[in-house]
Chains A and B, each alone.
Chain A
């Protein structure tokens, strides 16, 4: 598998690194760009990059329309997300409790460049560790309800996960994850949720909170390299790149990032975040920061495994050879992520149940065309 040539020749990766390269594309490459932007949900982002480069009027009309439409959809998500934050404030009204908006919601609330053209499906919030039960009750009283009714799954979340069972608003049908931390309680990494909450910053007069810049970045890195599935998560890498670039312009950011990572025990995910944003997206990182981040470097064998699997799993395949390499890499990383999340006991039990369930339930997201 020639991971590097695949990364180099992929039209989406080219555009993410240097948008103006697209002006040399032929019809076929434009179509491939659109295809990859669609499956990675980066179409709106690509539109924003073209806009930043002042080249939207040189994009072929059919491609321009599709990218612009995706951008409009991301704008819709942005407005919806701000409204959900407003509604959560209403639910918390009078309680004296506050909440941290996480992930994409935080980028939107802060107006970061990472939020532009980026669709956001759910709202993720975290409350102080001692407030989680109270927060859940307030939300239930204001129209949110449990998505999962199954008692086993409910218990599983409450016992092992860093978030409570997901909630959905009865009328608006928006989904929300209520967090008490950023990693499952069973995870091999332990982060101090108390400290994350304490260091969070208030961003408006209603008391909406977001993580401090280093914590926001570390959360994103943890989410990509330690918690979620890496396969197909190019969007998360684009987030990291954008956060590095934007926060990197602020004085003191780089100097505080690595010590904070060490304090939270997250130097490994940070090392990966820097390595792969630089390799795949040419993110600028100061030399001293790179040097300090070496503290998170894994053993050579592990790194070789990651260097082989991560790019192959992140970059969407263009050919069937690439597709095979990508599924294989994705599978290896999937097993790794479960290994990282749970000690072996609950892991095998959980996976066994999960695969049993898959046998019975039909594939989600697929529907009848005539519907």
Chain B
């Protein structure tokens, strides 16, 4: 069963009652929500292809979007994001429940997940070879990711490279792609056929909206990919769009700084990261022109010869 098999009414009833359990990439998540106008419809649409958890399976992240006690329930209504029964964040305006759910789930992953090696990176794949675009927020990696996905690359994640430490495989977690500010319009124009959810204004990251992951990407969620390219994108207005090789050692350092748990994993993290760097050709990508950047990326597979 997938989320979309539930009618919206059934879905909302479960969300407000016992919660909705679903599998998101390798993780199992149970969500409960206290009657949010914007949350349930947005979530139901963006996650429609994701499988529901069987009754007997426990969730590792039990998330609740909860009303605060007191005045803020009615006046300038606020919400809490809870993991189990603790509140890791400041409350937020109730209308922003959906983006806060996404950020909260990100936090669950980068704070609690060490069974995988996790790097802050978008990951897309074509012909069995995966491209990692690793950068801090604001570098344009999600824009590139959304655009590539609309050009036929398979979405693994716009946020996390989740690496199996035993074999170096990239594990997909094809959640909705988070778009910010101008990139929302850019992607709407670039791919009018894609479904982009409501724009949430006035978050601490400005206006955000989320692109629904293609059904195929979610259906292939259990299919890992092999890393082939590691690109460090930087968006810079008016820059000449160019891809330039970076040395393996400096790619090692940059990507380890973009990792959430490189230090926690110690020597096994070092070995896993060194293998990733060995497997990848590494580049800096400076871009101002999205189409030019995509063309450069599309040429990468040719440069490596045909994939197996």
Binding site for B on A (CB under 8 A): 26-28, 30-31, 34-35, 38-39, 60, 62-63, 65-66, 68-70, 72-73, 75-76, 79, 365-371
CA distance A365 to B58 in the complex (A): 28
The 10 A-B residue pairs whose C-beta atoms are closest, nearest first, are A62-B60, A30-B58, A35-B84, A69-B114, A369-B89, A27-B58, A369-B103, A72-B114, A370-B204, A62-B28
Chain B, Cβ-Cβ closest to A317: B85
Task: Say which one of B249-257, B259-267, B299-307 lies at the interface with A.
Answer: B259-267
Q: Assess whether A63 is in contact with B58, with CB atoms less than 8 Å apart.
A: yes
Interface residues of B in 55-96 (CB under 8 A from A): 55-60, 62, 81, 83-90, 92
If A27-B55, A62-B28, A79-B266 touch, whether A370 touches B203 (CB-CB below 8 Å) is: yes
Q: Assess whether A73 is in contact with B204, with CB atoms less than 8 Å apart.
A: no
B113 within 8 A of A: yes
B205 within 8 A of A: yes
Q: Which residues of B contact A35 (CB under 8 A)?
A: 62, 84-85
Chain A, Cβ-Cβ closest to B18: A28
Q: Assess whether A38 is in contact with B84, with CB atoms less than 8 Å apart.
A: yes
If A76-B266, A79-B266, A368-B204 touch, whether A65 touches B60 (CB-CB below 8 Å) is: yes
CA distance A31 to B205 in the complex (A): 33
CA distance A30 to B58 in the complex (A): 6
CA distance A39 to B62 in the complex (A): 13
Q: Assess whether B115 is in contact with A72, with CB atoms less than 8 Å apart.
A: yes
7 A/B residue pairs, CB under 8 Å, sorted by A: A31-B62, A60-B58, A62-B28, A66-B112, A73-B114, A73-B264, A369-B92
B197 within 8 A of A: no
If A27-B57, A31-B59, A35-B85 touch, whether A366 touches B90 (CB-CB below 8 Å) is: yes
B contact patch SS: mixed
Identify B103's interface contact among A31, A34, A65, A370, CB under 8 A.
A370
Chain B, Cβ-Cβ closest to A371: B204
Cβ of A340 to closest chain B Cβ, rounded Å: 29
If A62-B59, A62-B60, A65-B115 touch, whether A367 touches B90 (CB-CB below 8 Å) is: yes
Identify A66's interface contact among B57, B60, B205, CB under 8 A.
B60
Q: A27-B56, A66-B60, A370-B204 are in contact. List 12 more A-B contacts (CB 8 A).
A: A27-B55, A38-B83, A38-B84, A63-B60, A65-B113, A70-B112, A70-B114, A72-B114, A73-B114, A366-B88, A368-B90, A369-B107
Identify A369's interface contact among B26, B60, B104, CB under 8 A.
B104
Q: Which residues of A contact B50 (CB under 8 A)?
A: none
Q: Which residues of B contact A69 (CB under 8 A)?
A: 112-115
If A31-B58, A73-B264 touch, whether A367 touches B27 (CB-CB below 8 Å) is: no
B120 within 8 A of A: no
Count CB-based A-B contacts (< 8 Å): 88
Binding site for A on B (CB under 8 A): 26-28, 30, 55-60, 62, 81, 83-90, 92, 99-100, 103-104, 107, 112-115, 203-205, 263-266
Q: Pick from A30, A38, A66, A75 the residue with the most CB of B within 10 Å.
A: A66
CA distance A224 to B199 in the complex (A): 51
Q: Which residues of B contact A72 (CB under 8 A)?
A: 114-115, 264-265
Chain A, Cβ-Cβ closest to B137: A370
Q: Assess whether B57 is in contact with A39, with CB atoms less than 8 Å apart.
A: no
Identify A76's interface contact among B85, B88, B104, B264, CB under 8 A.
B264
CA distance A73 to B113 in the complex (A): 10
Q: Which residues of B contact A30 (CB under 8 A)?
A: 58
Q: Assess whether A75 is in contact with B90, with CB atoms less than 8 Å apart.
A: no
CA distance A257 to B224 in the complex (A): 56
CA distance A39 to B87 in the complex (A): 11
Cβ of A230 to closest chain B Cβ, rounded Å: 19
Cβ of B17 to closest chain A Cβ, rounded Å: 14
Q: Which residues of A contact B266 (CB under 8 A)?
A: 75-76, 79
Chain A, Cβ-Cβ closest to B27: A62
Q: Assess whether B62 is in contact with A366, with CB atoms less than 8 Å apart.
A: no
CA distance A371 to B114 in the complex (A): 21
Q: Pick from A26, A39, A65 the residue with the most CB of B within 10 Å.
A: A65
CA distance A35 to B61 in the complex (A): 9
Identify B57's interface contact among A62, A73, A370, CB under 8 A.
A62
CA distance A34 to B60 in the complex (A): 8
CA distance A68 to B89 in the complex (A): 25
Cβ of B57 to closest chain A Cβ, rounded Å: 6
